[in-house]
Structure 1
C-alpha cells in the first residue's frame, strides 16, 4: 500500500476495476464510457512504490506486471487530497509501474502521477508513447555522439570498435580518422574499391559497423528496428518511415532516405544492414516509394534533393537489379540473389547443424569438425555451396526464413521483388512526368515518363505470363530453373495489390482468396498452414510462415485493398492487427514485439529466432520499429468508432462476425 505524504481526515474511497472507477457511494466516474477522466493526483515515493508493486504483483519475477501474474488482491493508493483509490486491474497496475519506471529513469525520488495516466486508454497510450518516446529511443547516428551505442552491442566479437569506411568517402575518412585520435579503441578500416565476396569472407572474423553519411560534421540520423537489431536495416527503414511521417518526424524519414542514397553511391546497393558481413547483400527495394512519400510531406519542397535522390534510385534500379545476376534473361524478370561465400556469419552457432550433419556423415567426421574444414576451404562441396547461395538469397529477400524459399530462393522469380520493381517503374514515370518536364538524365542517359511506363507495362505482361495462375486466381512465384509456377500461398503473392499492378478483374479474384486463406483472428498470415505442411522438410518452425504475421505484410496489403476499393476488407484486417497489438500490450506490460502468432493472437512466438522486443524490465522504451509504424498507420486509417472498440478490447470475431478457423 502506498500513502500520500499529505494526510487528510476526509477520504472518499474509489474502486478502480475493469475499465471503471466507482466511488463508495456508487456514483460512476467515466471517460469514453470506460475510463475515468480524473485529475486525481498521487504523490508517490518512486523506489518504495515500485518495490511494493513487484513484491505484490510480479509473481513470476520478470520485473513486469502481466496477465501471467494475475494476483487476486487490491492495491491501495492515497491521493494528495486524501482520497483512497483501490486498483484491481493488470493493465492499470502495469501502467503505474511504467510511470514509476520513467520517474526512476529520471532520477526522481518522488513522482506526481495522475489517475488519468494510470487509466489512459490503451490505443491512446500506445500511440502516444510511439510518437513521443519510441522513435527517439530507436534513433542512432554513426558519429562521435552516437557510435558507442552501436559499438557496444554483442555483435562486436572483440574489443575493437571497428568501423569500415568506403574508399571514396573522403569526408567520412577524414572524420573517423580524426575521431580515432579521441577514441583509442576505434579502429578505422578503409574499404577497397572492389568489394568481392572473397574480401567480405576475409573480414568475417573482424566484424564492424559500416559508415553512413556524415553531414556538417555529424552523422545523419536513422531509426533501427530495436533489440539486437541495432543498425540500419533495409526494408525496415521504409516501413518505419511511414510511421515517422505520420508522427511528423520528417527529419528522421528524410535522414534514412539520405543514408540509403549514401549506401548506393558508396557501397553499390542498399544494404541488408550496415554491418560488414552484409556488404554482398541488399534488401527488398522501397526507395522510390520512400522518396515520393518524403517529398510529398516536405514543406517547402527541396527539388534539388528530389533530383539527387531520383538519380540515385534509377542508378540502383539499373545496376543492382537490371544489370546483375538479379536479372534473369530467360524470363525478363527479376530475382533476389545474394553473392558471398560460405556460411552466413551473422547466424547463431549451431543454426545450420542439421544441414551440415548430412555432409559430415558422408565424410565420416563430427559435424563441428566438418564445419571448420568447410569454412577453411579444406573440404569443398558445390551442392553445399549452392545451399548457402539460396540461404543468403533468402536473407536478402527479407523473409528469413520461410519454407517458401528454403534451398530454392535463387531459382525463383518471386512475386514480391517483381511487384516492388514495377512500383519503382511507375514511381519513376510519375516523378519525371510531374516534376522534371518529362525528361531526366542519369549517367548520360535520358529517361522519359513514357520509357518507364513501357518498362512497367512489359513487366506486368511478363508477370501475367509466368506468375498469374488463372485457375487459382492468384499470382505465385515462378521457378525459372524448373520452368514452372509454384503454388506456395504467401502474403507476398498479394504485393501486386500494393504496387497497383493487377487489373481490377484480377483483384476481384485475389481479394476473396486473401480473406479466406490468409485472414486469421489477429491479422494477415505470412503463409498458409497447408503450404507449410506441403513443403517443410523438418519440424523447424520458420518465422515468416504460418502461424505468424508481420507488420510489413499488413501495411502493404491494407493500402493495396484500399487502393482497389476494398475499404471494408481493409478495415477488418486493420482492426484485427491493431487489436492483437493492443490486447498484448494491455496484458503484457506494454509489450510491442517484432512479430505475432496471429492465429493465437500472442507475441509468444515459438520460431527459430524468438521474438525481439519482449525482453525488458519495468517498461519497454522502444517497442519495435515497423510494429510501431504499423500501429500509427493503422490508426490513421481506422474510423474513430473502431478506435473506441480497440480501447474496449472488443474481440474482432465479435466485431466482424465468425471467421474461418485457421
Structure 2
C-alpha cells in the first residue's frame, strides 16, 4: 500500500509526540507512546507502532523531503521492511552515494566546508599538487578564480623537514584527474564518513569489498586507481590525502583490491599497470633497509616526521608533555613552542612521537599494544599483509604473465613469501598459545599481547596444520557478544586502573578485524565458527540500527553489543539528525560482506528481530 501525507506537518507532529529527548531521532530511549496515527491526503488513518517502524517513517519522510517534495508517497512496505534487508538496501542505495567524493570543482567545494578546516586552516584551503602533475596544477590554478583555494606545487623530494614547514598551512592533497579531450574529470573515491572526509589508506580496501558486494565495481576500481596515483606521485599510499600525512602510509592492501577488482573486470592491461605499481610500492616503501625493513628481514611500521603530530586535537599529548615542561621549568605552552621550534631537544620525546606516528601508520590509533613501542615491533599484521603481497605477485605472474614479469619470476616471489613465513614462524609463532605475536626486534622477544591482529595470518597464509589451534585460541580469547574484540579481556585486566580507554582495545570491536578473520575462517573451512562470528557482528549492527534510528557507527563495544562506546575520539557516525546519510564506510562494507557469508536461516533470524506492524485503516 502507498499513501500520501504532508511531509512537514507529519514530521512536526511525529517528532513532537515521539522524540521526547529532542535529538531529532526516534530511539528506544524516547518515552513517547510509540504509536502514531497518520492522516493521509485521502483523509484515511494509518497507525504506525513501534520504535523501529516509527524511525523508518521518519527516515522515509526525510528522504522525500530532501528530494524537494511537499507531499510524500510512503510505501507501507518500507515502514515494515525487514531490518537486515533495510540496512542492506540503505547502504547500497544511499550510504555509498553519501560517502563518495571527488577532487573536482564540486568536490573541492565540499572539502572547503570540512570541519577540520575550521581548526587547522584559514578560509583559503591549500591544495597541494605533486611536482610532476601539470594537469592538476593547471586545473586547480584555474579554480582559484571560483573557489577560495590556494594551489601549491610540492617539491620533487618531500622530506620530513618540508612536511613540518607546512604544518601550519595544512591542506588537501590532489588525487587522480583524467583528461578526455578538453574535459577534466576527477576519479572518485569513498571516504569513511563524519569528520573523516578524505581518502584513507586501509579504509579504502574494506570499503571496496563492500562496493564490490553491491555491484559498484567501477567505484572500487577508481579507489585502486587513486592508490596508484598516490604511489606514483607521493611515493606511497597515504594515511589520507592531507598534507600532514605525506610521510605516513598505512597497512598494505593494494594487491588485495587489485585482485578483487580484476576478478570481475578481467582487464589484463589494467592488471599489468597496477601490478607494476604494486611491486614499486613493495620495493620502495616497505623493503628499504633501516626504515620499514629491519635487520632480521621482517618489517615494521615507521612513519617519519618531526615534532608533535599536527592532526591530533589540542591537549591530546598533555599528559606526556607535562613531565618535560616541569623538567624545563616551563609552562606547557612554552615548552611545546620551544620543542616544536627545536630550541629544546628531547631525544626520548622524539622517540615517543616516532612510535606514535608509526602507531597511526598501522591504522590502530590508538592501542596499548603499540603505545610507545610501535617502531620497535615487527607486527603480525604488517608482515602477514606483505606475505600476501608476495604470494599475490607470484600467483598473478603465474596465472597471467607466463611466470615472468619485469625482473622477477613467479617462483622468485613465491620463494620470498616462503622465506617471510618461515621468519614469522621462527620469531612470532607461539605454539603454546596458538597464535602469532608481535616481535620486539630490540628486546628480541614476543610481546605476548593478545589481539585480533594476531589472527590475520589465517587469511594471508599459515601452515595449514596450525589453523585449528589458532581458531580455538581465537574463539577462547577474543569472542564476545557482538563478535571479535580488538584485544582480549586478559590484556585489559593487566592495565593500570587509571589507564585511558584506547579505542582499538577491549571492549571495542572493529570491522576490518572481523572481515579479515572471516576471510581466514572461510579459507580454512571453519564454517561453524564463521557463521557464529558473522551472525554475532551482524546481529549487533542490526539490533542497534533497529533501536537507534538506523545508526551505523565507526565502532562498537562488542562486550555490551552496543554502539555506545566510551573511548578517545568518540564514535563517528552517531552524530546525525533524522537519518544517517552515510553510515560508516567499513562498517557498511562489513554488513554487506557479512550477508554474502551468512546462511539463509541466519539472515532470516536477523530479519525476525522486529515484529511487523499490521495495517490499520479507519473507515
Structure 1 length as normaliser, TM-score? 0.89
Say which SS state the counterpart of residue 333 (structure 1) adopts: coil
Instruction: Give the corresponding residue for 1:270.
Output: 237
For the pair 1:67 / 2:34, whether they are aligned, the reply is no
Structure 2 residue 314 is the aligned partner of structure 1 residue 354:
no
The match for 1:605 among 562, 565, 583 is 565
2:483 is aligned, of 523, 541, 544, to 523
Taking the aligned partners of 1:495 and 1:271, their CA distance within structure 2 comes to 22
**In structure 2, the residue corresponding to 1:349 is in which secondary structure?**
coil
> Which of residues 159, 176, 195 in structure 1 aligns to 2:158?
195
Q: Structure 1 residues 254-263 or 150-159, which shifts more?
A: 150-159
Query: Once structures 1 and 2 are overlaid, which stretch shifts more, 112-121 or 417-426?
Result: 112-121
CA distance in 2, matches of 1:80, 1:153: 40
Gaps spanning 5+ residues in structure 1: where? 1-38, 651-662
Name which structure has the greater RCO, CA cutoff 8 Å, separation 6+.
Answer: 2
Tell me, in whole angstroms, the C-alpha distance in 1 between the residues paired with 2:397 and 2:495: 44
Q: Which residue of 1 aligns with 2:205?
A: 238
Structure 2 counterpart SS, 1:130:
helix
What's 1:648 paired with?
608
**Could you give the per-residue CA deviations for residues 148-182 of structure 1, whole angstroms, max 9, x where no partner exists?**
11122122221112100000112212222222233
Distance apart, 1:600 and its partner CA = 0.6
Distance in 2 separating the partners of 1:638 and 1:162: 46
Cα offset for 1:534? Answer: 2.3
1:132 maps to: 93
| Cα distance, 1:73 vs structure 2 | 5.0
**Aligned match for 2:171, one of 208, 211, 218:** 208
Q: Contact 1:404/1:535 (CA < 8 Å) preserved in 2? A: no
- Match in the other structure for 1:34: none
> Once superposed, what is the RMSD of the aligned Cα atoms?
1.3
Larger CA Rg, structure 1 vs 2: 1
Alignment counterpart, residue 159 of structure 1, candidates 120, 123, 126:
123
Task: Give 2:586's aligned residue.
Answer: 626
Query: Within 5 A, what are the aligned runs for 1:179-578?
Result: 179-183=143-147, 185-216=148-179, 217-298=184-265, 301-441=266-406, 446-499=407-460, 501-535=461-495, 538-578=498-538
Distance 1:153 1:338 in 2: 25
Q: 1:72 to 1:388 in 2, by over 3 A?
A: same
Q: Displaced runs of 4+ in structure 1, greater than 6 A? A: none
Q: 1:529–1:326: structure 2 CA closer, same or farther, 3 Å change rule?
A: farther
- Say yes or no: does 1:103 pair with 2:61: no
* CA deviation after TM superposition for structure 1 residue 492, in Å: 0.3
- Which residue does the alignment assign to 1:169? 133
TM-score normalised by L of structure 2: 0.96
Go from structure 1 to structure 2 and tell me whether the alpha carbon gap of 1:207 and 1:85 turns closer, same or farther (over 3 Å shift). same
CA drift at 1:75: 1.2
Aligned CA distance change for structure 1 residues 623 and 329 (closer, same or farther; 3 Å): closer
Q: Distance in 2 between matches of 1:502 and 1:516?
A: 20
Question: How many residues matched?
Answer: 603
- Separation in 2, partners of 1:405, 1:439: 39
Give, in angstroms, the shift of residue 83 of structure 1. Answer: 5.1
Contact 1:284 1:417 in 2 (8 A): yes
- Once residues 489 and 333 of structure 2 are traced to their aligned partners in structure 1, the CA distance between those partners, rounded to angstroms, is 34
Q: Can you list the C-alpha shifts for 1:50-81, whole angstroms capped at 9, x where unaligned?
A: 11111111111100001111423531124567
Instruction: Give the secondary structure class of the aligned counterpart of 2:494.
Output: helix
